[in-house]
Structure 1
Amino acid sequence: MPLLPVVVVAVIALLDVIAGAGMPWLPLLAAGPALAASTNGPRGVMCVGLLAVALGVALALGHATPARQPAAVVSALLAVTAASGLASALRGRRERVLAAVRSVAEAAQQALLQPVPDTVGPFQVAVRYSAAAAEARIGGDLYALLPTPYGIRLIVGDVRGKGLPAVGTAALVLGVFREAAQDEPDLLAVVARIERSLARNLGPDDFVTAVVAGLPDSGDLEIVNCGHAPPLLISASGEVGAVETARPAPPLGLRALSGQAPGLQRLRFAVGDQLLLYTDGVTEARDHTRAFYPLTEGVTRHVCDEPTRTLSALHDELLTHVGGRLHDDAALLLLRKKTASEPTSVPSRYEAAI
């Protein structure tokens, strides 16, 4: 039996006894079964309702009220109890349906998401995702990281739109990226395969902004930016700078409209350096004054040799900046090249979409 509805019924009965007012207090006993409908199943509602009826009859007899009045109160209590029991049963049914839907969502999540490893080859990796809705599991933000014969390759992107169409597009991008990253020695060829696939499958107004990066055995960092926010390169000394593209390219899926092809940037990626990729849900997060979250300053404040700690601090600060709830999905992926003294794991595969 739920405790709160019983307490409510007991308090009302106590007030009736103390005040000695008789009937004016007794109809309030219906609050007990009505409240129980939101906290318990039909059986609990019926128990609270019967308790309210028993107390109502006892109090009415104790006040020696006319027979009609107790009968009216009992009838009202029984009616409220029956209605509350039905409402509780319907609520339980909706909860079971919702649980089934969530199980399907969890299965979809497992198909697209895998636990991110702490280390991939000579790199430490951390990811953090915040959904705009607390119930969200998957959406239009996507990221993937996997070892290939050509080194570590990763992608972070944002699909235009929301809902199931965005999830489908994210799954398509990741599927093509997964295959192309293993097959194509050139990072631009990987991007070209994704572009061709999207051109065949997306509508004229759909597109995906993305950054595709590669870390071949040479030690250099390769980046192809397709209309996405520039990654942040963090040196071993803690200096933070945006990797601005020298050759702007349109988002994936729009190359045919602009005729512009993306360019490949090569940068030095030394031991201790870190690379942060993110979606616009981070940089476009606003506080109560409509000010954007200063990501570069946040990274400068919180960067350390443990990517997980860095992203946790950034995530907490981001939520504080927006007042506790984001209005758009936000994804962060941080990669750090370990020093020679740090242990190196066997390369593992990780890929994800949100």
Structure 2
Amino acid sequence: MIQDPASTGKASTTEAAKPKHDTVKVYQRLRPFMAGKRKRAVIALVASAVSVAGLLGVVQSVRVLVDKTFTSLDAMALSHALSIFLIFVSLMAAGTYFRTLNFKMLGEEIVMAIRQRVYAHVLKLDGHFFQKHRMGDITSRLTADIAVLQHGLDVSLPIGLRGFFQALGGASLMILTSWHLSVVILAVVLGVMVVAIAFGRYVRRYGRLMQQQIAESAAQVTESLNGIRVVQAFNQEAQETAKFNATMGEQLKLAQRYNQARGLFFAFATVCVFGAVAAVLWVGGLAVEAERISTGELTAFLMYSLIAALGIGSLVEVFSSLQTAAGAAERLFSLLDEKPALTAPEHTKLLPKRDNGRSIAFDEVEFA
């Protein structure tokens, strides 16, 4: 049975005390780190659109092959159609290359800037902050949380944009090919999207809790290994192992509920998608028999619907991944929001000079 993460143990209590942020607002805080990278972002965006346009062009070439070439068996028409097919394939390959390159580098550059900013800020915090926070938790934010955020930026985000263009382009060409078949697909898509939104919110809560458990285990490992002499001197090996195993057990329970929810959702989506395909085949087959559409148009429609379905499916997957990355970003930005109790003045003043013959000087002072 899937439980709400608000009812799961110690980690949820810790996270409940933290302010919850809207996902959009969390990602808006990345804008300062994109300074000077807009050109690369535009190239990546255009390349995503070009690669999907090439894919849709390939499908259109297949429609021409089925309708005109295979029926007439004209060698010249076949060569012409295959030439267009290869042109669209080349366009898709070029778009894929530039999309992958620029999104990967964009993610690397943004994450590097965040890591540098957070690390420099943490070094300026006072001792009271380090008394409140465990070293393992801080280290986990600079390593594990950064890795989750980077995966969201250079893997999930480009897949999501490609899925958006696939869904938009595929749906548009589906409507142009056969609007009455598109109604069947649209009804399924709306149902899946409603469930996906609720699922994404659920995943984000679990993503925060799982990252908190990872940080907790990292803190335990750091503290026990840093104080290994004390642990061994007081014969606390068994107790430390039991504490670590308990934390791992909580993490496994969270992962089980998280993956159970994912499995149920994708099972639901699979039934909906293939049910829609069966309905399209039935309605489309009757339309071909009545000569309202051609065999090539039905083939193209099925391929467009598959492209749109894959795009929507990737959007659902990416939505959950970006929610998890948003939870990791919250933990990183919470470090940037920390203010030191003691701060250096913006403008320092020199002590006034006195002409009384007395002065203080450092003579032969060395520091190790």
Higher relative contact order (CA 8 A, sep 6+): 2
- TM-score norm. by structure 1 comes to 0.23
More strand per residue: 1
- Bigger share in helix: 2
